[in-house]
Structure 1
Amino acid sequence: MARDRAHEAVIANVDLFRDLSKGQLRRLAGASTEVSHPAGKAIATEGRGALAFHLILEGSATVSKDGRELRTLGPGDYFGEISMIDGRPRSATVTAAEPLKAMAIPHQDFETVIDEDPEFARHLLKTLCARLREAEARASDPGARP
């Protein structure tokens, strides 16, 4: 139970979940598990199916697409949200750069919350639209950093 409360607090700081009710946060935290990955392990592989949303608790990971490293993720960063929503294969590969501990929320549990809670789904859509607009703005600005 203490683990679930700690996970609730961590989930509440994720922009995608920031405005969720305590009950919604409790449901996601209850569905989460802590997973550990050794350095060098591919946690998500570009082109493969999505199994879970991952929120990094400790360690770091690199994100690559088409074999090109794009960025490094650390504690508080997350990945897997796009495939979790659209059900399509992963858009990038995420590899543990060092021993990594993450909180994972299985795809099925994530979908259940979306299906049962229209407010959560609406918030998620708005957040993702804002991220898409930011990405489009960066893409149209030749001086912007990726």
Structure 2
Amino acid sequence: MRNSLLLLGELSDEDVDWLRHSGERVSISAGGVLIQEGQPITALYLLLDGTLEVKTGTLGPPDQQRTVAHLATGEVIGEMSFVDNRPPSATVIAETDIIVLSVSQEQLLERADTDLAFGKRFYRGLAFCLSNRLRLMNVGSAQSGSGAQSTDISHPDIAANEAVAKARLESLIASAR
């Protein structure tokens, strides 16, 4: 599932317009690194086009590196470091040429501090994203890596916003082209 739907479904149209105008579109060629394990990041990313590979253990020997996820258009990246202000625990590499919307953590924090309603919506959306990632990890572990992971939006509050969130995501993707 595209985690951005969980975030964008919580935000208002005004919030999404703010993200569009505050964020910077960044292009990275296939093989380029978006996030390096252990290196602090200063932005939250929304993948607008392309695919990413998420690897752990990249600071150690090659035989200890492990691919933990492949992310497609519409994913949110860097949310864990945004929430806990710690360096990333994985390296994120462009599998194809990608375009991300990069929104600085500083801008997001400032907006959340000055617009409490935005902050509430934004952090609730991030909580849904993190919860979804954890649930998918649990499903994947329970199925011994079979890859058959549920992507169902089963919470009624989330499902009610799904169509709006999809339209907002399509709008952001279209603005990147």
Change in CA separation of 1:54 and 1:132 when aligned onto 2, cut-off 3 Å: closer
Partner residue, 1:86: 84
How many residues are paired up? Answer: 134
Structure 2: runs of 5+ lacking an equivalent: 58-64, 148-177
Structure 1: runs of 5+ lacking an equivalent: 1-12
Change in CA separation of 1:124 and 1:59 when aligned onto 2, cut-off 3 Å: closer
Partner residue, 1:18: 9
TM-score, length of structure 2 as denominator length: 0.64
The structure in which a higher percent of residues are helix is: 2
Separation in structure 1 between the aligned mates of residue 137 and residue 49 of structure 2, nearest angstrom: 31
Partner residue, 2:62: none
Aligned-pair identity in percent equals: 24
Whether the 8 Å contact between 1:42 and 1:93 is mirrored in structure 2 is yes
Separation in structure 2 between the aligned mates of residue 46 and residue 82 of structure 1, nearest angstrom: 12
**Post-superposition CA distance 1:65-102 (Å, at most 9, x none):** 11211121121122111111221101211001121111
Separation in structure 1 between the aligned mates of residue 14 and residue 83 of structure 2, nearest angstrom: 21
Q: Report 1 or 2 for greater relative contact order, CA contacts < 8 Å, sequence distance ≥ 6.
A: 2
Separation in structure 1 between the aligned mates of residue 133 and residue 29 of structure 2, nearest angstrom: 32
Whether the 8 Å contact between 2:79 and 2:126 is mirrored in structure 1 is no
Change in CA separation of 1:17 and 1:86 when aligned onto 2, cut-off 3 Å: farther
Equivalent of residue 65 in structure 1, options 36, 53, 56: 56
Partner residue, 1:10: none
Partner residue, 1:4: none
TM-score, length of structure 1 as denominator length: 0.76
Tell me, yes or no, if structure 1 residue 34 matches structure 2 residue 25: yes
Change in CA separation of 1:23 and 1:78 when aligned onto 2, cut-off 3 Å: same
The structure in which a higher percent of residues are strand is: 1
